[in-house]
C-alpha cells in the first residue's frame, strides 16, 4: 500500500524573499556590466507600439483594449489589442516577454518567417529553467498570442492603419514537454521544411519601420515583472529620445500603459518605484514622479544607460501634452 504524505504548505513569504534576492542579483550584474562598458552588447528590438502602448498586466475578460499615445512631432499612435479567436483569452502579464522575443527574432532575421525548433531556445534565452512547468506556461502564453490581433493607427500629416493577426500561421502540437523534446519532437511546425512561426506581413512591416533597441539584460531581469518591465523600458526609451526636460501628465500615461485600476493615483507610485530601481544601475537617470505627471529629460551629464546610445537612431517621442 502506497503511503501518502501530506503536501507541504507553500511558504509564499520565503518565495517572495527569494524572488527579490534574485532580482537584486540581476540588477547588480547589470550595474557591473554598465560600469565595465559591456552593457548592451546584445540588444533586443522591441516594437515601438509596444513601448508606447502595453498589454494588460493581469488576466482580463475584455476582448478588446485600446491604448493611445501622442508623439512629440504632433502625430499620434493608437493601438488596439483584440482577442480574435474563440476560447482564447487576451494576452497579459509576462506574455509580453515572449512577444518581445518573437519580434526581436523577426527583426534580426529581416523576415516574418522565423525558425524556432524547441521550447528550450526561448527558455534559455530569457534565463528560465527547462522544466515542465515553464514549458506549460510557455505553451499557454504562445496560445494566447496566436489569438492576438493588433491594430495600429498612426495619424499625422497622413494616416496609416494596420489591423492584422500578430501570428499569421501557427502549428503547435500538444507535446510541449521534456519527454517530447528528448524524443526529438519539434515545438512548432510551420510547414514540411521549416519549424517556427510567421508574423502577419503588415505587422512585420510596421515593426521593421518602428522599433526601439533595448539592452537584452533589462528584458531578462524583468521577465517575471511585467509592469516593472513596461515602466523601465518606457523610462529608458523616453530618456534616450528626449531633447529637453518635459512633464508628461499621468492622464496621458494611463491611456498608454495602464490597465483599469480602481486607484487612479497608483500609477505615480509605480513610476516612483521604477525610477528608484533604475537608479541603482543608472544613477544619471533624469526622471521624477511628480504630483502632476512624470518629469523626464536627457540623463545627467549626457550619461545614457548604454555607451553607444548616442549612435543609435532616434525615434519620435511622446508629447508632454498627452
Cα radius of gyration (the chain): 20
In this predicted structure, the answer to whether residue 182 has a pLDDT above a threshold of 60 is: no
The predicted-structure confidence for 31-76, as pLDDT tens digits, reads as follows: 999 999 899 888 999 988 888 788 888 898 888 888 888 776 677 8
CA atoms within 13 A on the CB side of 2: 3
Nearest Cα to 251, choosing from 44, 13, 19, 68? 68
Nearest Cα to 215, choosing from 53, 99, 104? 104
Q: In terms of pLDDT, which residue wins out, 14 or 97?
A: 97
Distance CA 146, CA 160 (A): 24
Give me the mean pLDDT over the 233-242 stretch. 89
Residue entry with cell 549612435: 311
pLDDT at 96: 92
Distance CA 63, CA 90 (A): 6
Global pTM reads 0.79
Distance CA 272, CA 277 (A): 9
In this predicted structure, the answer to whether residue 232 has a pLDDT above a threshold of 70 is: yes
Nearest-10 Cα torsion for 57, 315, 320, 286: 80
Neighbours of 119 (CB within 10 A): 24
pLDDT at 313: 42
Give me the mean pLDDT over the 209-223 stretch. 90
Question: Would the CA dihedral through 179, 180, 183, 184 be positive or negative?
Answer: negative
- At 165, is the secondary structure helix, strand, or coil? strand
In this predicted structure, the answer to whether residue 11 has a pLDDT above a threshold of 60 is: no
Nearest Cα to 207, choosing from 155, 152, 247? 152
In this predicted structure, the answer to whether residue 179 has a pLDDT above a threshold of 50 is: no
Segment holding 22, helix H or strand E: helix 12-36
| Cβ–Cβ under 8 Å, residues 288 and 216 | no
Beta pairing class for 148-155 and 159-165: antiparallel
Query: What's the whole-number average pLDDT of the chain?
Result: 80
Distance CA 230, CA 67 (A): 14
| Cβ–Cβ under 8 Å, residues 78 and 68 | yes
| Cβ–Cβ under 8 Å, residues 216 and 44 | yes
Domain residue ranges in the chain: 37-311
Give me the mean pLDDT over the 224-250 stretch. 90
Q: In terms of pLDDT, which residue wins out, 174 or 203?
A: 203
Q: How confident is the model at residue 225 (pLDDT cuts 50, 70, 90)?
A: very high
Distance CA 132, CA 177 (A): 6
Give the N- to C-terminal CA distance of the chain in Å, as an integer.
68
Amino acid at each position: 500500500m502506497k503511503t501518502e504524505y501530506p503536501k507541504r504548505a507553500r511558504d509564499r513569504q520565503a518565495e517572495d524573499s527569494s524572488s527579490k534576492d534574485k532580482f537584486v542579483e540581476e540588477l547588480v550584474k547589470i550595474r557591473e556590466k554598465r560600469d565595465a562598458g559591456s552593457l548592451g552588447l546584445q540588444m533586443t528590438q522591441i516594437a515601438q507600439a509596444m513601448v508606447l502602448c502595453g498589454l494588460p498586466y493581469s488576466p482580463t475578460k475584455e476582448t478588446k483594449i485600446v491604448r493611445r499615445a501622442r508623439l512629440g512631432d504632433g502625430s499620434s499612435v493608437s493601438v488596439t489589442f483584440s482577442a480574435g479567436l474563440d476560447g482564447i483569452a487576451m494576452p497579459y502579464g509576462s506574455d509580453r516577454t515572449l512577444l518581445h522575443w518573437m519580434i526581436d527574432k523577426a527583426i534580426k532575421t529581416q523576415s516574418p518567417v522565423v525558425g524556432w525548433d524547441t521550447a528550450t531556445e526561448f527558455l534559455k534565452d530569457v534565463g528560465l529553467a527547462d522544466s515542465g512547468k515553464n514549458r506549460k506556461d510557455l505553451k499557454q502564453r504562445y496560445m494566447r498570442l496566436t489569438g492576438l490581433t493588433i491594430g495600429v493607427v498612426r495619424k499625422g500629416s497622413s494616416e496609416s492603419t494596420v489591423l492584422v493577426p500578430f501570428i499569421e500561421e501557427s502549428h503547435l502540437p500538444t507535446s510541449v514537454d521534456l519527454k517530447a523534446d528528448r524524443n526529438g519532437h519539434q515545438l512548432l511546425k510551420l510547414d514540411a521544411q521549416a519549424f517556427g512561426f510567421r508574423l502577419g506581413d503588415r505587422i512585420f512591416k510596421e515593426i521593421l519601420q518602428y522599433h526601439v533597441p533595448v539592452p537584452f539584460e533589462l528584458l531578462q531581469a524583468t521577465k517575471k515583472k511585467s509592469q516593472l518591465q513596461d515602466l523601465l523600458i518606457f523610462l529608458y526609451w523616453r530618456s534616450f529620445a528626449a531633447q529637453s526636460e518635459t512633464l508628461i501628465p499621468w492622464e496621458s500615461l494611463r491611456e498608454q500603459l495602464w490597465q483599469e485600476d480602481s486607484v487612479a493615483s497608483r500609477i505615480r507610485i509605480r513610476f516612483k518605484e521604477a525610477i528608484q530601481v533604475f537608479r541603482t544601475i543608472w544613477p544619471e537617470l533624469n526622471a521624477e514622479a511628480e504630483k502632476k505627471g512624470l518629469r523626464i529629460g536627457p540623463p545627467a551629464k549626457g550619461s545614457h544607460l548604454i555607451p553607444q546610445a548616442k549612435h543609435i537612431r532616434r525615434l519620435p517621442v511622446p508629447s508632454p501634452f498627452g
